[in-house]
Amino acid sequence: MTCNSKWPEILRELLPSRTAPDRPDLVARVFCAKLEDMKDHIFKKHILCKFGAYVYVIEFQKRGLPHAHFLLIMTPEHKMTNLDHYDKNVCAEIPDPNRYPQMHELVVQHMMHGPCGHLRPSSPCMQSKPKKCRFRYPKQFNDKTMQAEDSYSLYQQRNSGINMNVRGNILDNRWVVLYNSKLLMMFNYHINVEACSSITSVKYVFKYVYKGHDKQVVQIDSEEERVVINEIRRFQDACYVSPPEAIWRIFSFILSQMHPYMMVLQLHLPNKQMSMGKSLNDLDLPMVDANANFQSGEFCEVQEECSIVVEDEHLRPLDSLNSNQKYAYDEIMRHIDEDCPGVFFIDGPRGTVNIFL
Ligand SMILES: [Zn+2]
């Protein structure tokens, strides 16, 4: 979901001759309101279907406009089990301008890729040698949707004869970015919707959702010929915060959310904690004496750890564990509480990088 700088809610608040980038506060507020509205329609009013879990993050383009990446996981009874379900949720064609004029206009305005390829070789999506579109446009015509093995599905993109002048070139169905017609009609923005049913594509999307901020190593030298390469400085992170992102953070708008809430349990084998290849016993650490005077400063770190107040918010996720997760959690905690050593192996589905309980 990408912010549309031409949303009426933004345009009508701008003074004459001003544009959306002049009002990052307005852009951030309107996008946040639209996002909350969309969440309400998806998660409470179930306009698509019922979702059992979701995760989303907000990102900001270099030019500043915010966008959101969502990963939605359907409840078992709503899983997309046949190709009709795919076609109901994901569209990849230009609607007939006579039968669906408004929808046609929205797709042409927001959901057409390019042009790129031989029509415009200088397009930013043209990469590698020989140059080709990194998003693989134009796609091939497809008479019907096909579910591919361990990758994204191929959607119905028929050679319907409908084509449109988009940014100076005549484009057809092969240039349509996948969308959901309900969401596009309701929110008037660029929203790419895809179904990912195989574990490989789920892993890819999850990684994309958490890929983090774009960062670049930047070094500016006054006299180029005297540059001495400082390898430490090379690793300095330079983070560009755009005005809408700054406003987003100042207003404390949500940057990411996950439901149900999950927590990572760090598990270690006995005496195999991460300590530069040594076990804790090799480090000659002072023994913690239960009767020690913590005020002396000798055990200030221990004291600090002991004085941490665990907030309710961090205890609440415990209630959302399912019965198997709860069993694993209780079993591990029982060993800790009873000071009874144990080794636990927790298996995760193939392809998951982190293990969550
Ligand atoms: Zn392209």
Give the confidence band of 349 by pLDDT, cuts at 50, 70, 90: low
Alpha carbon of 18 to ligand 1 centroid (Å)? 31
Question: Residues within 5 Å of ion ligand 1 by Cβ?
Answer: 114, 116, 125, 133, 137
Alpha carbon of 119 to ligand 1 centroid (Å)? 10
Alpha carbon of 202 to ligand 1 centroid (Å)? 23
Query: Which residues partner with 55 through β-bridges?
Result: 71, 258
Q: What is the percentage of the chain residues whose pLDDT exceeds 70?
A: 70
Alpha carbon of 264 to ligand 1 centroid (Å)? 38
Alpha carbon of 124 to ligand 1 centroid (Å)? 8
pLDDT on residue 353: 42
pLDDT on residue 354: 44
Alpha carbon of 265 to ligand 1 centroid (Å)? 42
pLDDT on residue 293: 58
pLDDT on residue 84: 85
Q: Read off the pLDDT of residues 3-27 as tens digits, 9 standing for 90 and up.
A: 998 999 999 999 999 999 899 999 9
Bridge-based pairing state of the strands 164-166 and 132-133: unpaired
State the Cα–Cα distance between residues 196 and 276, nearest whole angstrom.
40
When the pLDDT of each residue in the chain is averaged and rounded to a whole number, the result is: 80
Place of tokens 């000798």: 298
Alpha carbon of 62 to ligand 1 centroid (Å)? 19
Q: Read off the pLDDT of residues 275-288 as tens digits, 9 standing for 90 and up.
A: 445 555 665 666 66
Q: Read off the pLDDT of residues 164-220 as tens digits, 9 standing for 90 and up.
A: 888 888 899 999 999 999 999 999 989 999 887 666 666 766 776 666 666 665 666
State the Cα–Cα distance between residues 173 and 349, nearest whole angstrom.
37
How many alpha carbons lie under 13 Å from residue 271 in its C-beta half-sphere? 5
If residue 53 lies in a helix (H) or strand (E), which one and from where to where? Answer: strand 51-60
Alpha carbon of 175 to ligand 1 centroid (Å)? 9
Alpha carbon of 332 to ligand 1 centroid (Å)? 51
